[in-house]
Amino acid sequence: MDNLPSVNEQRRKCLRMLAVGGAWAGLWAAGLLQPLRALAAEWNKPAFDAKALDEALKSIGATTPVESSQIQLKAPEIAENGAIVPVEVTSGIPGTQAIYIIADKNPQPLVAIFDITPGIEPFISTRIKMGESSKVRVLVKAGDKFYVATQEVKVTIGGCGG
Amino acid sequence: MKIRAQLKGDVADVKVLMFHPMETGLRKDPITGDIIPMHFIQRVVATLNGKTVMDAQWSQAVSKNPFVNFRIRGAKQGDKVTVSWEDNKGEKASIETTLN
């Protein structure tokens, strides 16, 4: 009889855990958790941490990208505010698998990687921060090849510090 | 988060606005002078009816309150579009819309 309360306690704990687990399983089944599964693990840390352009390019495996006029890159020639620089990319390269946005002179040049599935058009528009005037460099991965287009953006007020 | 999806033929033009400070880790608190630690969205995933169509990895250099625009192919009325993000602190958010 002495150990009854503790058994009950354990049973309650166990039931609570099952209930919590059940709720999570429900969310999982509903597909709510799937898109976020182990997201952080798939973040390319070496490439994003790279402090020099060459190092960043090497980390993504794009040491010798080919210049391509099939990449359409829209960015302002003069950005008054480096904290908000609109960048729009349209790739005309067949089999585009990924679009990379790089600001050459940012403290860490690699800004974003967009994996492009056949389920979307090879088009991305976003806004980035630039610490100073530099080239914006867009890479497109298609098959095992990399293609590149660049545009010079003059930044009046830098957007990285404060 | 805000999402707007417009169906044009079988292409859904999706515009998303996320509310996030996107701290670079370079900014100082104007009052204390302490460096504000990095805090930024690392992953963004978009799905059409549960199937991943766009999967992005970001650095701290995406602008504060990030905006992204993309176009989903083979979309139709009633389809569900979801966009989710996760930041470097493990915080998450998600939004869903139905195409009409």
- For B23, which DSSP code? B
Rounded-to-integer distance, Cα B57 and Cα B59, Å: 7
Give the burial string for A20-30 (b: 16+ CB within 10 Å, else e): eeeeeeeeeee
The secondary structure of A64-78, three-state, reads CCEECCCEEEECCCE
- Nearest by CB: A103 against B42, B56, B61: B61
CA distance to A23, A122, A126, per residue, from A29 (Å): 10, 31, 32
> pLDDT confidence of A12, banded at 50, 70, 90?
low
- Nearest by CB: B63 against A39, A44, A128: A128
Chain A to chain B, count of Cβ pairs less than 8 Å apart? 133
> pLDDT confidence of A157, banded at 50, 70, 90?
confident
Rounded-to-integer distance, Cα A100 and Cα A77, Å: 20
pLDDT at A162: 47
Residues of B in Cβ contact (< 8 Å) with A130: 61
pLDDT at A161: 60
| B90, two tokens | 């493990």
Q: How far is B99 from chain A (nearest CA, A)?
A: 15
| A14, two tokens | 């166990």
Residues of A in Cβ contact (< 8 Å) with B53: 117, 119-120
What is the distance of C-alpha A73 from the center of its chain?
A: 18
> Per-residue pLDDT tens for B5-31?
999 999 999 999 999 999 999 999 999
pLDDT at A6: 57
Give the burial string for B54-71 (b: 16+ CB within 10 Å, else e): bbbbbbbbbbbebbbbbb
pLDDT at A158: 72
Q: Tell whether B12 is within 8 A of chain A (Cβ).
A: no
Q: Do A106 and B61 touch (CB under 8 A)?
A: yes
Question: Across chain B, what does the average pLDDT equal?
Answer: 97
What is the distance of C-alpha A82 from the center of its chain?
A: 19
Q: Answer for the pair B96, B45: CB distance below 8 angstroms, yes or no.
A: no
> pLDDT confidence of A35, banded at 50, 70, 90?
very low
Q: Tell whether B26 is within 8 A of chain A (Cβ).
A: yes
Quote ipTM for the complex: 0.96
Instruction: Find, in chain A, the residue whose alpha carbon is nearest to that of B26.
Output: A161
Q: Is the pLDDT of residue A23 over 80?
A: no
Average pLDDT in the A53-61 region?
Answer: 95
> Per-residue pLDDT tens for A58-90?
999 998 999 999 999 999 999 999 999 999 999
pLDDT at A1: 47
Question: Across chain A, what does the average pLDDT equal?
Answer: 84
> Per-residue pLDDT tens for B26-82?
999 999 999 999 999 999 999 999 999 999 999 999 999 999 999 999 999 999 999
Q: How far is B100 from chain A (nearest CA, A)?
A: 18
